[in-house]
Amino acid sequence: MRNDDPHGPIRGDRAYLVHSAEKQTFAIAHAPFRIGRDPSNHLQVLDAEVSRDHAEVRFEEGRHVVHTLGSGATLVNGVSVAGSAPLAEGDEIAVGEMRLRYTRHSATGAIVTEAGWADDIRVSQAPTDHTRKYEGSSSRDRPRSAMIIVVSATILLIVWALASLLMR
């Protein structure tokens, strides 16, 4: 979904987390919006400093609040959050090495990922340096993954059968 309004729409329970370095905007449309290493989170961050269920953003009493869930540090504007902290326009949330800016306006032309969709975004640390890359986790990838498993199993069976024939 694209938003071409330079100021972005504002709806009471809607907000966005902007990852400027990667030019990605994540919509917090269905709170709570969960962040952590576990693939069940809306935003999976594969970083050793991030807990499986690290933090979540909830809509409470007319505002968004970040809640810590795991043992890893969650910072808002450089200050460690103990329990929860209300969010204001422009606040920076740090989860591991990832920095997200909280805003009620979506960025111009930003691709928005709704919390709760099957096609959530996964972020992982590249093995050779500290750069990050996105890995899409899509329901469209599941049939391809299943096919790879079937082909791999078939190859293993053929190798086993050939090895058994050669041993006789």
Q: Binning pLDDT at 50, 70 and 90, where does residue 13 land?
A: low
pLDDT band at 146 (very low <50, low <70, confident <90, very high): confident
CATH number at residue 106: 2.60.200.20
On whether residue 111 sits in a domain, the answer given is yes
Judged against a pLDDT cut of 90, whether residue 55 lies above it is answered with yes
pLDDT band at 64 (very low <50, low <70, confident <90, very high): very high
* Residue numbers of the domain that contains 159: 140-168
Query: Are 55 and 101 in the same domain?
Result: yes
The answer to whether residues 119 and 164 belong to one domain is: no
Looking at the structure, do residues 28 and 95 belong to the same domain, yes or no? yes
For the chain, how many structural domains are there in total? 2
What's the pLDDT at 12?
Answer: 57
16-36 mean pLDDT: 82
CB burial of 89-115 (b: ≥16 within 10 Å; e: otherwise) equals eebebbbbebebbbbbbbbeebebbbb
Instruction: List, in sequence order, every residue forming a beta bridge with 89; answer none if it has no partner.
Output: none
Between 156 and 145, the more confident residue is 156
Residue at 9 is within a domain:
no
Q: Give yes or no: residues 106 and 124 share one domain.
A: yes
**Contact 14/27 with Cβ under 8 angstroms?**
yes
